[in-house]
Amino acid sequence: MRPPPPAAYLCAILVSGAAAGEEIRIELWSGHPAARVESAALLAGGLRLTARHGKLQTSQSEAPPPVSFEPGTRLDGHPIAGKLTLWADGDGISAVESVDLEEYVASVVSAEVPSAWPKAALEAQAVAARTFAMAQKVARGPSSRFHLRASVLDQVYAQGGATEAAKEAARATHGEVLTFGEAPIAAYFSASCGGRSEAAEEAFRLPAGATPYLAGAREDEGDPDRPWTARIPLREISAALRKARRILAPVSAVSVSERTTSGRAREIALGTSGGTRRIGASELRQILGYETLPSLLFEVNLEKDSAVFRGRGSGHGVGLCQWGARGRALHGDGYRAILAHYYPGAEIRRMY
């Protein structure tokens, strides 16, 4: 039996040299109590690390964070393509992967868009994903621990692989970024706008004029309505609001009290024993769950003891509409024409 790894392992298994091309840092997850790292450079079974008082520990050693591992490791059984860095925040571990931006773009396209969709739709998604990543990198600055999260909070990241179609979309648009006034734009996108897009200023409460290329309220004939219905018992709505410590009294009525220009719900009126309470529609969607209420483009009615939401689309409806891009590509639009529709006034530039 070989001896346990010395303490130097925690600090010595580093990447020599930076990744080729533009690099992006992705927070894979945070707050985990432990992590297991495996690689050819480590002993059989790898290393199990825990966090305690801001330091990373194994059964044999302790080291201050961060601790980095070479590309090709496995984290909790999942392959990591780029450099892996672990941080200790109190008694929790955060995992960050540093990867070439083009590899990241291909992985996002794989996670966001079916590979069987038209080539132009995948290419438009590649430019939007690259632009969003570059804008986040610029906003966070060079000293930031990470630039994006690997979830719907930023962009879904297909960790460990990409389809050939997604890789080709990244290659075909290599380095291309949407800009407005020299800077990368906030290239938001969603699955389906339900036939009508939303303005970023209304969806995210941005200052007037902050995103002129995301004006919203545009009809999108390329995107079908994609209707959905959600029947939620009032007792479940009451329990969710109580758990979020938002409204403690039982809810007896639900209605839309204010809408945005595109027709999406902006404010919800909730009837309770203490009178009518109002809550932002986006907050209610977050509390009930994004899968439960796929979008804010809905009507709501009471049926017996349930609130019945009937809506269209999926996501916030700002920027590129993935199903709409598919429809436009099927009708012969190239990726540049698709991007011009969803981000009017923005220019495509090759940044590197």
pLDDT at position 9, please?
32
Distance (Å, whole) CA 281 – CA 287? 10
112 and 93 together in one domain:
no
State the sign of the Cα–Cα–Cα–Cα dihedral 148, 192, 198, 306: negative
232 and 325 together in one domain:
no
Is the distance from CB of 325 to CB of 124 less than 8 angstroms? Answer: yes
pLDDT at position 14, please?
30
245 and 153 together in one domain:
no
Question: Does residue 142 carry a pLDDT above 90?
Answer: no
Comparing C-alpha atoms, which of 209, 200, 339 is closest to residue 264?
200
pLDDT at position 62, please?
82
Whether 31 is in a domain gets the answer: yes
215 and 333 together in one domain:
yes
231 and 337 together in one domain:
no
Burial class (CB in 10 A: 0-12, 13-18, 19+), 93: buried
pLDDT band at 217 (very low <50, low <70, confident <90, very high): low
pLDDT at position 58, please?
85
216 and 108 together in one domain:
yes
Question: Does residue 19 carry a pLDDT above 90?
Answer: no
State the sign of the Cα–Cα–Cα–Cα dihedral 156, 160, 166, 170: positive
pLDDT tens-place string over residues 234-288: 999 999 999 999 999 999 999 999 999 999 999 999 999 989 999 999 999 999 9
**Structural domain harbouring 240:** 227-312
How many domains, in total, are found in the chain? 3
Comparing C-alpha atoms, which of 309, 293, 219, 204 is closest to residue 256?
309
Whether 181 is in a domain gets the answer: yes
87 and 175 together in one domain:
no
Whether 1 is in a domain gets the answer: no
Among residues 100, 134, 159, which one ends one of the domains?
100
29 and 177 together in one domain:
no
Question: Please, how many CA atoms are within 13 Å of residue 335, restricted to the half-sphere of its CB?
Answer: 20
Distance (Å, whole) CA 216 – CA 282? 17
Strand order in the sheet with 92-100: 67-69, 83-89, 92-100, 23-32, 148-149
pLDDT at position 160, please?
64
pTM of the entire structure?
0.87
The percentage of the chain sitting over the pLDDT mark of 90, rounded to a whole number, equals 73
Among residues 64, 84, 100, which one ends one of the domains?
100
Residue 170 CB contacts under 8 Å (≥ 6 apart), including other chains: 102, 103, 105, 106, 109, 126, 130, 162
95 and 108 together in one domain:
no
pLDDT tens-place string over residues 304-327: 999 999 999 999 999 999 999 999
262 and 276 together in one domain:
yes
List b or e across 151-160, with b for residues whose CB sees 16 or more CB atoms inside 10 angstroms. Answer: eeebbbbbbe
232 and 217 together in one domain:
no
Residue 64 CB contacts under 8 Å (≥ 6 apart), including other chains: 54, 55, 56, 88
Whether 3 is in a domain gets the answer: no
Among residues 100, 133, 156, which one ends one of the domains?
100
Whether 143 is in a domain gets the answer: yes
Whether 145 is in a domain gets the answer: yes
pLDDT at position 64, please?
82
In this predicted structure, which of 24-38, 101-115, 157-171, 334-348 has the lowest mean pLDDT?
A: 157-171
- What would the mean pLDDT of 330-343 be, rounded to a whole number? 96
Q: Residue 79: is the preceding peptide bond cis (ω within 30°)?
A: no
Is the distance from CB of 170 to CB of 126 less than 8 angstroms? Answer: yes
158 and 213 together in one domain:
yes
